Amino acid sequence: SIVAGRDSVCCHGSPNGPVSTTTRSMTVMPAWVIDKYGSNEALRFTKNAGFPVINYPNEVIVRVHSAGLNPLDVRMRDGYGSASLSMKRDPLNIKSSSEFPLILGRDVSGVIMECGLDVKYFREWDEVWAAIPPWKQGSLAEFVVLSANEVSHKPKSMSHREAAAVPYAASTAWSALVNTGGLSKDNCAKKRILILGGSGGVGTFAIQMLKAWGAHVTVTCSQNAELFVRGLGADHVVDYTAGPVEEPLGALEKFDLILDNVGGDTERWALTLLKPWCGAKFVTLVTPFLQNTDRLGIADGMMQNAATVATKALKHLVKGVHYRWGFFVPSGPVLDEIREMVDAGQIRTVVEDTFCFSQVPEAFEKMEKGHARGKTVVQISK
């Protein structure tokens, strides 16, 4: 039947009935895994990684065509967030095994090979993309299992290679701007937005979303990235390599929202650039959330997080501005919205480097160098 929306019902199989049992009978698959946290030496290729299994009726198995890499993958390889993510993977501590072997990779574009019994919005052979939550096994493998509400139909205007460069960074930008910042296509016209660190993955998608919604966008980046961010739609660019950016930014008209991708001492001066008593918000994606839980444990870390964000929010609220932490949130419906913007020509991606499946360590080395002007993608299958 024709798929009309996420609540419509469609058949669970190919036009000739259920998909063959090829995937159902498999027990192992090729993948890149880590058996411990560490440097690139921790990456190991195996042909015997456990094949993903549908445990819940709303899950799907996706054959991975392309996987996108993000800075988070390098940090997770090093052990970032291990305490919180282990708890999320096994909240009741029922499993005796550890999180290893762990498959990294947060972005995926591929084809659905099997659907759980409750899946109504997808069917086998659908081309899909997804941002994989950090607590799940990733996309540097031949197959991955995901909840159907984390998956979206891939943009028709993009190849799998291009599509794999979008979901995680674009979903993070959406979550920060819409969920936390309260912005939308209906209320953005003529609002002044500042993006600190606009040439990275999240920043580049935030620029394009905001411009599609009619906002005025100011960006900080290095001088050699200025043409790049202007090409994405940035109205005004401040070069952070020319000296402290707070001086040129302070000379500008104040902002309705600041998206911080930089962290460090930016909070010391950035909130003074907001319009006071107008509902203006400072949203930072650089938070100590996972570092606190890694360092202090789950209970004490969460208490520290609550105390930190509450103290900062109150400190700035008395000055008439709002302080918020932004987070990635996995969401198929958000990717539906992003897909529409992609197919309408409002969002594009720049793939800087493509590596084959055997070159995953080289792809990680490239990611570690930083200062990319586009995304890094690993081609898993044709």
- For residue 113, which of 59, 156, 55, 48 has the smallest C-alpha distance? 59
Strand order in the sheet with 216-221: 236-239, 216-221, 192-196, 257-260, 281-284, 322-325
Rounded-to-integer distance, Cα 252 and Cα 249, Å: 5
- For residue 147, which of 78, 59, 82, 77 has the smallest C-alpha distance? 59
More confident residue, 92 or 350: 350
Least confident of 169-178, 204-213, 230-239, 294-303: 294-303
**Cβ 103 vs Cβ 29: under 8 Å:** no
Per-residue pLDDT band for 262 (boundaries 50, 70, 90) equals very high
pLDDT reported for residue 98:
65
Note if the bond before 101 is cis, omega within 30 degrees.
yes
| Cβ count near 158 (within 10 Å) | 21
| Cβ count near 88 (within 10 Å) | 14
Q: How much is the average pLDDT of 224-251? A: 94
Report the SS3 class of residue 38. coil
Per-residue pLDDT band for 202 (boundaries 50, 70, 90) equals very high
More confident residue, 291 or 60: 60
pLDDT reported for residue 283:
98
Q: Which residues pair with 66 in a beta bridge?
A: 109, 379
Mean pLDDT of the chain: 90
Rounded-to-integer distance, Cα 216 and Cα 371, Å: 25
What percentage of the chain exceeds 70 in pLDDT? 90
Rounded-to-integer distance, Cα 282 and Cα 321, Å: 8
Whether residue 17 is predicted with pLDDT greater than 60 in this model: the reply is: no
Whether residue 203 is predicted with pLDDT greater than 90 in this model: the reply is: yes
Per DSSP bridges, beta strands 257-260 and 192-196 are parallel
Rounded to whole angstroms, what are the CA distances from 355 to 49, 65, 77, 82? 21, 12, 18, 27
Q: How much is the average pLDDT of 119-125? A: 95
**Cβ 322 vs Cβ 281: under 8 Å:** yes
Rounded-to-integer distance, Cα 143 and Cα 121, Å: 20
More confident residue, 370 or 109: 109
Q: What is the pLDDT of residues 290-303, one digit of tens each?
A: 888 888 888 898 99
